[in-house]
Amino acid sequence: MKLSQLEPGQSGIIKEFTDLEMSVKLMEMGCLPGESIVVERYAPFGDPIAITVSGYQLSLRKKEASTIILQKP
């Protein structure tokens, strides 16, 4: 399941990334495999999204969120 498929309020644990370049940026920002992510809200026009990860809030576009694969619950 991709991060971009979660609804606000849902959470998941990062498993892996589908895009290496993006993964480098995301990991620097604390999105590491094994970290849990909560989707807080979507922007009014549906994109970008706001998530909580590593104890802070981060916003990213759905395009970026779709490169994050979550563990199966």
Partner 1 sequence: MKVALVGNPNTGKSTLFNVLTGLRQKIGNFPGVTVDKKVGFFRLPDGRNVQLLDLPGTYSLYPKSKDETIVFEVLADKKHPVHPDLVIIIADASNLKRNLLLYTQLADLKIPVIIALNMMDMARKGGIDIDVNELSKRLGVQVVPISARQEENIDKLKEAISNASSVALQIDTIEVEALAPELISQIKHELGIANSYAALQIAHQHQNIHFLTARQSQRISELLDQSLFYSQKLQAEETIARYSFINDVLFDAVTIRKEEVIKESISNRIDEVLTHRIWGFTIFFGILFLIFQAIFAWSEFPMTLIENFFVWAAGISRTWLPSGVLADLLIDGVLAGLGGVLIFIPQIAILFAFISILEDTGYMARVTFMMDRIMKKVGLSGKSVVPMIGSLACAVPSIMSTRNIESWKDRIITIMVTPLVSCSARLPVYTLLISLVVPDTKVWGLINMQGLAMMGMYLIGFVSAILVAWIMKQVIRSRERGYFIMELPVYRIPRWSNVALTMYEKVKTFVFEAGKVIIAVSIVLWVLATYGPPGRQAAAQQQYLSQDYVQKYSAEEIQSLQSSAKLENSYAGILGKLIEPSIKPLGFDWKIGIALITSFAAREVFVGTMATIYSVNGDDQQSVRQKMSRARNDTTGQPVFTVAVAWSLMLFYAFAMQCMSTVAIVYRETKSWKWPVIQIVYMTGMAYLAGLIVYQILK
Residue type, 2: K
55 binds partner 1 (CB under 8 A): yes
Q: Give the burial class of 59: count Cβ atoms within 10 A of its Cβ; 0-12 exposed, 13-18 middle, 19 or more buried.
A: middle
The least distance separating partner 1 from the CB of residue 24, rounded to whole angstroms, comes to 5
Of 5 and 30, the one with the shorter C-beta distance to partner 1 is 30
15 touching partner 1, by CB under 8 A: no
> Which residue shows structure tokens 């990860």?
53
Interface with partner 1, residue 32, by CB under 8 A: yes
Phi then psi dihedrals of residue 14, to 5 deg: -70, 130
List residues near partner 1 by CB under 8 A: 20-30, 32-33, 40-41, 43-48, 50, 52, 54-61, 63-64
